[in-house]
Structure 1
Amino acid sequence: MRLIILTKRQYTGRDLLDDRYGRLYEIPRALGAAGHPVRGLTLSYRQRPPAPPDTAGWESLNTLPFSPLGAARHLRRIRDICREFRPDLVWASSDAWHAIAAWRTCVPAGIPYVVDLYDNYESFGLSKPPGVIPLLRRACRAASGLTLVTRTLAEHVAAEYALPVGQPRLILGNAVDTGLFRPLDRLAARRELGLPEDALLIGTAGALDASRGIATLLEATERLTAARPGLRLALAGPGDGSLKRFRHLPIDYLGILPPTRVPAFWNALDVAVVANRDSDFGRYCYPQKLQEIVACGVPLVASRVGEVAELLRGTPASLADPDSSAALAERIDAQIREKIHVDRAQVRSWAQRAKELSSFFEMVLARSSEGGTGQCR
């Protein structure tokens, strides 16, 4: 299959091309490795240099999609690539605009396209201008298929988007580089990152802001340090100023780590934490860090929200009620004592996800050519 990938360049706090990071870099790379010709077009909403030379097959544009001139330039480039590359299918991901752009370019050209919803795009800032959400829903209805990161998101979209009967849909969760994320020596990991070697360490990495429940984790840490004076909280990632109120806590803040150092971070911890709020984001997302932590074999505690509750159904000791610092502190304290691990067998590699997606694309293309029906699976 000849595939075109449409996505924004900056997502989940990383740069797709500079960091070679995440779902929208790893799955296309694995599809290419499996023998499918792949072209990628990224749209940067800030000024960025061209695609690095060692990211072959990717092109980057700098523009603002809701500037009429920028939107027209982006659509024109998609049409040009389609004419040059002659894809069998287009996979559009990352936000509402990319779904809309695929719809506006692929339907007139008769090219099947699949919209990838790795989050509830309606909650993104880019979806706030009037008319964007109706266009997003229309683009999803017109798509040849949908890939959705969680079952909870799939149920939400099915209930709200008036999707056509028989439209193919695939639940496509996230994955990890299993060669990078694996159990490592804890002491060596702490030395690598400059963390205290003899401390009791809990922590998290990722967006450290109020919308992701960082205040709940900080308040839980406050409770824990009262009973466990040697406990410290390790944090990595961008913040929104929430840490300022908790300067009295024993916090080791490492800033934003490059992806290659994140495995050492998780392995340095006694207990890793995935705190999320009971919000649109928390209910529909698939925390990338959850797969990373499980792959590293580190005990964890996660908020019982959305898909996480299903993923950790077999280890209820790893779940805490969301938005409750008392419940989170209790679960972390129990994990410090019991060290219950999640089965690493549930971890998926990007190659496995690419294989699932390839099979789905083949079904979508067969349906498109034969006029048959598909199903959500």
Structure 2
Amino acid sequence: MSKDVILDKYARLYEIPNQLALLGHQVECFCLSYQSHNEGIWDESDEQKKLIWHSKSYKKLTKMGLLTYPFLLLKMLSQYRPDVIISASDIPHIVLGAWCAKKLKVPFVADLYDNFEGFGQARIPGFKYLLREAVRQASLVTTTSQPLAELVSNDYDAKGLVVSMPSTVDTQIFCRKNKSEAQKQLGLNLGKRYIGTAGGLYKDKGVEVLYQAWKSIEEEMPDVHLVLAGPFQQDCPPPRGDRVHYLGALPHHEIAIVFQALDVGVISILDTPFGRYCFPQKAYEMLACGLPVVVSNIGEMNNLFADLPHALFEAGNTQDLVFKLKQQINVPDKVDFTIDDWKTIINRLEPLITSLKS
């Protein structure tokens, strides 16, 4: 995710152990860095929780040590003697967690924050098979979306309980604020209407259809401007023009200001194995900011926006996106949806985990 789970305290990979620790559990987390981060131990324990992070990183000539990491992890877990092992992040971590849990004869929980079969790792021979075998072994599987939960239940033939548990957002940061003030912070002109998005502006994330739609919106709606934020690939640069505002790659907390400044947000998802089973965090982030949206009619978005079909456009269809954008720009409509915080979500999950203890 290009985030450091320990230092950035990012999303569910951080919040699941953090909230379990706040509920009184002793939680030890073992991380393997693929990007040569510094290794060490970070102790976040205080009077409220017992939470310790262990990070292992293999750099340069030591990369061969990756082959022995499973045995090192098993040794550390044997010393810790967990009641339950929860594994997340990607295919290797899910497989390692299942292997360690089997060796230690403790219950195993797999958290799938995306369809890992859509990751590049899945092209490595045998990885899909190992992933499915590990998930089948799990006593409990949590997924980021209902379509992914159905895939795991039906295609993976999961033996344990499968629960859809979409990630949430920090509602202290992503919240409703004065639109004019947000526009001032970003240096935008008041009195104009703004559409846009933020995040990875990549082809495989579906941004091209927005760029194509902008050509029509730019011609037909002269008071509308396009706002974009996030990294992009050189072969797919953002549009240019006096009414295009590219803000660069912003820190995560500043993305909220972008969504607070817009009149309509766009979430474009491709009809791919990844897109069909993901749950884009932008949906919750935009909704938490009170932003009307237009979103691809893919996967979980069909469920989330079931009561607002005119906010859904056919994935990859430029004309339909233009039509739905015009509707939302001229007559904005929003989903009335309560977004639970991490404390609430993990409070619901915790009894399922503790019930696994023998």
On whether the aligned pair clears a TM of 0.5, the verdict is yes
Q: In the alignment, which of 224, 246, 256 is matched to residue 253 of structure 1?
A: 246
Counterpart of 2:237 in 1: which secondary structure? helix
Deviation at 1:246, TM superposition (A): 3.0
Distance in 2 separating the partners of 1:342 and 1:179: 19
Is residue 2:93 matched to residue 1:104? no
Q: Which moved more, 1:150-159 or 1:327-336?
A: 150-159
Kindly provide the CA deviation profile for residues 248-267 of structure 1, in whole angstroms up to 9, marking residues without a partner as x: 57321222221221211110
2:153 aligned residue:
158
Cα distance in 2 for partners of 1:292, 1:338 equals 21
Aligned to 2:351: 359
Q: Which residue identity is paired with 1:353? A: I
Q: 1:182 aligns with which of 175, 189, 196?
A: 175
Question: Cα RMSD over matched residues?
Answer: 2.0
**What corresponds to 2:5 in structure 1?**
16
Deviation at 1:330, TM superposition (A): 1.0
SS of the counterpart of 1:246?
coil
Other-structure match for 1:123: 118
Tell whether the 8 Å contact from 2:87 to 2:109 is kept in structure 1 after alignment: yes
Q: How does 1:258-277 map to 2 (within 5 A)?
A: 258-277=251-270
How far has the Cα of 1:247 moved from its partner? 3.0
Q: Is the 8 A contact 2:203 2:236 kept in 1?
A: no
Quickly say closer, same or farther: Cα 1:192–1:100, change in 2 above 3 A: same
Report the equivalent of 2:73.
Answer: 78
- 2:272 is aligned, of 253, 275, 279, to 279
**Deviation of the 1:95 alpha carbon:** 0.9
Aligned with 1:223 (options 200, 216, 220): 216
Aligned in 2, Cα 1:192/1:80: closer, same or farther, shift over 3 Å? farther
CA–CA distance in structure 2, aligned partners of residues 295 and 155 of structure 1: 27
Pairs aligned (count): 349
The one-letter amino acid paired with 1:95 is D
- Distance in 2 (CA, whole Å) between partners of 1:330 and 1:52 is 53
Query: Could you say which residue in structure 2 is the equivalent of 1:5?
Result: none
Looking at structure 1, the residues matched to 110 and 97 of structure 2 have their Cα atoms a distance apart, in angstroms, of: 8
Which residue does 1:3 correspond to in 2? none
Match of 2:321 in 1: 328
- Where does structure 2 lack aligned partners over 5 or more consecutive residues? 46-51
Aligned partner (choices 205, 229, 235) of residue 228 of structure 2: 235
Question: Is 2:211–2:238's contact at 8 Å kept on the other side of the alignment?
Answer: no
> In the alignment, is residue 48 of structure 1 matched against residue 37 of structure 2?
yes
| 1:209 and 2:198 aligned | no
- How far apart, CA to CA, are the structure 2 residues paired with 1:350 and 1:245? 34
Aligned to 2:49: none
Say if 1:222 and 1:249, in contact at 8 Å, map to a contact too: no
Query: 1:278-317 residue pairs with structure 2 within 5 A?
Result: 278-317=271-310
1:337 aligned residue: 330
Query: Does the C-alpha gap of structure 1 residues 344 and 52 become closer, same or farther in structure 2, counting only changes over 3 Å?
Result: farther
Cα deviation code 1:264-322 (max 9, x no counterpart):
11101011111111111110001111111111111111111001100111111221111
The higher relative CO (CA closer than 8 Å, separation ≥ 6) is in 1
Query: How far did 1:245 drift?
Result: 7.0
Asked if residue 149 in structure 1 is aligned to residue 141 in structure 2, the reply is: no
Give 1:203 deviation, angstroms.
1.0
CA contact 2:113–2:143 (8 Å) conserved in 1: yes
Structure 1 position 240, deviation (Å): 1.9
Sequence identity of aligned pairs in percent? 32
Structure-2 change in CA distance of 1:68 and 1:146 (3 Å): farther
Q: What SS does the aligned partner of 2:326 have?
A: helix
Q: What secondary structure sits across from 2:54 in the alignment?
A: strand
Other-structure match for 2:48: none
- Secondary structure of the residue aligned to 2:20 is helix
Where 2:355 maps in the other structure, the secondary structure is helix
1:318-368 deviations in Å (ceiling 9; x for gaps): 2111111111111111111111111132x1211111112212212333xxx
The alpha-carbon deviation at position 59 of structure 1 amounts to: 2.0
Superposed CA offset, 1:131-169 (max 9, x none): 1111111111112221111111122222322333xx211
- The answer on whether the counterparts of 2:143 and 2:165 sit within 8 Å (CA) in structure 1 is yes
Deviation per CA, 1:33-75: give whole Å up to 9, x if none.
22222111222211112468575522222249xx6631422x2
SS in 1 for 2:190: coil
| Distance in 2 separating the partners of 1:325 and 1:87 | 51
Identify the residue that residue 195 of structure 1 maps to in structure 2.
188
Residues 34, 310 of structure 1: alpha-carbon distance in 2 compared, 3 angstrom cutoff? same
Once the two structures are superposed, what CA deviation does each residue of 1:109-138 show, in whole Å capped at 9, x if it has no partner? 112111111111111111211111111111
Return the alpha-carbon distance in structure 1 between the equivalents of residues 43 and 171 of structure 2: 22
- Give the 3 Å change call, closer, same or farther, for CA 127–314 of structure 1 in structure 2: same
Structure 1 residues 301, 123: closer, same or farther in 2, change over 3 A? Answer: same
